[in-house]
Amino acid sequence: MAQKPNVLIFGGCNSLSPQLALHLVPLQGEPLVNHIRMVDKFSLFPQTTYVSKEFIKLLQDRSDVIEYRQANLTVPATVTKCFTDPAPNGQPYTHVFDLSGETAYDRPTAIQISHTFNVSLNLAREAAKQNVKAYIRNIGAVYDHVTEKKKYKEDDVDGWKPLGVRGVWWHETMRAVASVPNLPLVVIRKAYAYGPGETHGEVTQTILLGLVYKHLDEAMKFLWAPKLKRHTVHTKDVAGVAWTAAQWAAGLDREKMNALAGVSLPPSGDDSVKGVPGAIQKEQGGVVVPLFNLVDDNDWNQENTAAVISKVFGIKFGFHGIFASQLAKLRLETVVEDINGVHMEEWTKIIATYANPPVPFTPLSPYALQYQLEKHGCALDGEKLKKVLGYKFLHPYFTEETVRETIESYRVDGIWPQTDKYPPF
């Protein structure tokens, strides 16, 4: 039997990394790996960010298999120590998962360069230096997909139009990392993630709005077209695919991976890239990287998502007409302020007054940034992943059951406001 690998997980502590760790080292069952070293900027003892009780229990009960290290990954020497400090079994760390990066949409270019681009590039260079067997980089729905019909394959150039500063620098980070010599890289581009551990993002916010409109006793209404694609993927499948991709990469060299799944990533064309050390300039053209779209089987749109969530809460839903949507486009800043005013006023009452017990410090919030109310979607074709990696989805569809399971995970962790409008299971 082949020896189980040692694994490094960088970043993502307050989003997807705990789910990956729980996939690799289940609380009940045999670990898939020999040892995990998980590294991020947050303190967990005491906690300075939300992580699930299940993950904390994993760290406490299975300290022989998993360690958490608080570290500043912007310091190259710190990154090196994460790789070279011996594992308990004395073997090197060979499988690396890079979930690092600044996910907040409104961070300026300088922050994205220092906290996303530089960090990931340092990780990739050190990984190549240490001759790791697999390096998995995760990227979210940071592209401008305004479509009601098309699903973008990995090699569709139109599907690689970055959305905002965050989109530009996550994209250019991917291009730079893909250019590191001898790096066994696979990139996973995921749809809107939802499920246990995911407390932010478009799908989570829509679930929260279901509770808000249940309390308001009003229909939940959306801007833009009902058929605007809003593709989804469950957090447990994000973890499952990451591990499957790592196993696939560990058995191949980069040339073979490029032949089977390589995509030429075009430059963003953004002027901020000029002169940045390590960045691949526009004149250098595309960069080939093994890459897979990660999306469930729903082919979901706004109407589908709204219908499922509305059923969960027993509310009605609808859409503002074309005229109202176009008018909102002209005065979107004011519209966002008005909408957040209504939502947050009711949400504050829900978490502080209606909830039993109150949950005033929950990380859950329906507050929306302006870009989230602009006309953007996510439309991915995921057939290549299923064909090449052979992955079988645990949650192939976004359903009432998966929404209720997500809410239950929040309730168990004490961050869901339990009210008489949504009774316990």
| Tokens (6 digits) for 323 | 């005229």
220-271 pLDDT, tens digit per residue, is 988 777 888 999 999 999 999 999 999 999 999 999 999 999 999 999 999 9
d(CA 128, CA 117): 17
Largest CA distance in the chain: 65
Strand partners, 354: none
Q: How far is CA 219 from CA 56, 103, 209, 216, 316, in A?
A: 38, 31, 10, 9, 5
| Strand partners of residue 98 | 10, 137
d(CA 286, CA 269): 11
Q: Using the predicted structure, report yes or no on whether residue 321 has a pLDDT greater than 60.
A: no
Q: Burial of 217 by CB count in 10 Å (0-12 exposed, 13-18 middle, 19+ buried)?
A: exposed
DSSP per position, 34-65:
SEEEEEESS-BTTBSS---HHHHHHHHHTTTT
Per-residue model confidence as pLDDT tens digits over 84-141: 999 999 999 999 999 999 999 999 999 999 999 999 999 999 999 999 999 999 999 9
Output the pTM of the full model: 0.95
Residue 334 has a CB neighbour count (10 Å cut-off) of 10
| pLDDT band (50, 70, 90) for residue 425 | very low
Q: How many CB atoms are closer than 10 A to CB 387?
A: 12
Strand partners for 10: 39, 98
Q: Are 136 and 245 in contact (CB under 8 A)?
A: yes
17-24 and 53-61 helices, crossing angle to 10°: 50
Q: Are 407 and 214 in contact (CB under 8 A)?
A: no
pLDDT the model gives residue 327:
52
Domain spans, the chain: 6-193+233-294, 194-231+299-379+401-412
Task: CATH number for 6-193+233-294: choose from 3.30.450.40, 3.40.50.720, 3.40.980.10, 3.30.2080.10.
Answer: 3.40.50.720
